Structure 1
Amino acid sequence: MTTTTRRQPTHAKVSGTTKGTISSWLSEFPEEVPAQIAIGINRLGRDGGFDDVHTFYRFYRLPEGANQDNRIDPKEWIQTAGTAARLTVEIKRREADGSYRQYVVGCPSAAGEPAESDVVQFGDHQVSVRPSEVLTAQDAIGIFQHYYDHHAIPEGWHLRELPEYADTSEQNAAASASATDGAQPAPGAVAGRAESAAPGKSAQADVGDQRRQAGGA
């Protein structure tokens, strides 16, 4: 008798509209995930069917042993907001020093652009970005797929940090422990913490509240 082991999904997704959010898990079958990503991103800016508009899409890695009844507040994620033709991508990730940093993803030319002189509209809200940070659905789908496969952004993209949304709580805890042991605190360990990005009620809640909450692209 052959026993089949059921696969466990590795990522969850959050889809936002002008009226709210829907959270669910991505498929446990990796071959089905590319289509799910494409659907979630390509429908940004479109009618949601309930007098609403799709505004943002995010996913994150599930912790081991998670089940669908768990409330998960991820510290690392990737997200996008806008329309299929004009959108912004953000990520939040853990750095080597233990901090969690939030970044806007852009083309390499974004490095030479001094100001956020463009905007991305999502629903009734907008976010300021550099011109080379205005991406398309095709760009975002490739970035999201790579993130799903490797838990990282593909090489060649520029990352602009949003320092006001950094979460240094773990870094500070490690520094305090080192100081208690008589060691020197880690460089740059400072007090303070930005709230982590939580799925918002609209795209503004994830690229706005998100930037006022956090946790991500």
Structure 2
Amino acid sequence: MAVGDRGTHVVTSNGTSRGELLDWFRSYREQLHRHLSLLDGKKRFALELGALPRGKNWLDLGADYAPPEYIQCAGSADRMAIEVREIGPDGVAHQYAIGRGGDRSGDPSETIQYAEHQVMVYPDEVFGLHEATGLFYAYFQDGTIPASYARRELSL
């Protein structure tokens, strides 16, 4: 992408700071890795990535534009939970916790701390920087999570 070209995805940090994902200084994968590596669970605690509508420019949509479908994480670079939001064929949004597949008996037992909040997940739903980078990059490439990962629908 040449300087002046526009991105195809928007990145949101901490639910408030939004901008296009651009590869002017780093490749897209390296840029995602950098964003995720900065998560400390306190000041930088969440990251979201979603595609812009085809043919649309983030600047045209406005700084408050939030993609209806996305991948997001909360926590720190070494301990985070990852979720995906998708719009079903019925037009209803569905949110899924992503994991590697494991025992779902009992309640989630792992705590992910982010800012003053926490989320409970199953042990296989705790991710580190490198695996999270791979998931975010896969989502960037085609809007999906690899089939080898499990999904657990969340009730919101």
Q: What TM-score do you get using the length of structure 1 for normalisation? A: 0.63
How far off is 1:43 after superposition?
Answer: 1.2
**1:104 aligns to 2:102 (yes or no):** no
| Aligned equivalents of 1:67, 1:57: Cα separation in 2 | 17
Q: List runs of 5+ in structure 1 lacking aligned partners.
A: 47-51, 166-217
Determine the structure 1 residue equivalent to 2:57: 66
More strand by share: 2
Match of 2:12 among 3, 14, 34: 14
> What SS class does the counterpart of residue 79 from structure 1 fall into?
strand
1:75-101 Cα deviation digits (max 9, x unpaired): 101111101111000110122333220
> What SS class does the counterpart of residue 27 from structure 2 fall into?
helix
State the AA in 2 paired with 1:118.
Answer: E
Residues 130 and 66 from structure 1, CA distance in 2 versus in 1: closer, same or farther, beyond 3 angstroms?
same
Check the 8 A contact 1:113/1:130 in 2, yes or no.
no
| Aligned equivalents of 2:27, 2:100: Cα separation in 1 | 28
How far off is 1:28 after superposition?
Answer: 5.8
Structure 1 outlier segments of 4+, above 6 Å: none
Determine the structure 2 residue equivalent to 1:131: 123
State the AA in 1 paired with 2:111.
Answer: V
Determine the structure 2 residue equivalent to 1:191: none
Match of 2:72 among 48, 70, 79: 79
Match of 2:33 among 32, 38, 41: 38
For the pair shown, which has the larger CA radius of gyration, 1 or 2? Answer: 1
How far off is 1:140 after superposition?
Answer: 0.8
Q: List runs of 5+ in structure 2 lacking aligned partners.
A: none
1:136-161 Cα deviation digits (max 9, x unpaired): 11111110000000100011111010
Determine the structure 1 residue equivalent to 2:111: 119
1:49-88 Cα deviation digits (max 9, x unpaired): xxx6211111110123234251313210111110111100
Check the 8 A contact 2:80/2:127 in 1, yes or no.
yes
Determine the structure 2 residue equivalent to 1:149: 141
| Aligned equivalents of 1:67, 1:134: Cα separation in 2 | 31
Determine the structure 2 residue equivalent to 1:161: 153
| Aligned equivalents of 1:36, 1:13: Cα separation in 2 | 10
RMSD, aligned α-carbons: 2.3
Residues 144 and 37 from structure 1, CA distance in 2 versus in 1: closer, same or farther, beyond 3 angstroms?
same
Q: What TM-score do you get using the length of structure 2 for normalisation? A: 0.85
Identity among equivalent pairs (%): 29
More helix by share: 1
| Aligned equivalents of 1:65, 1:43: Cα separation in 2 | 28
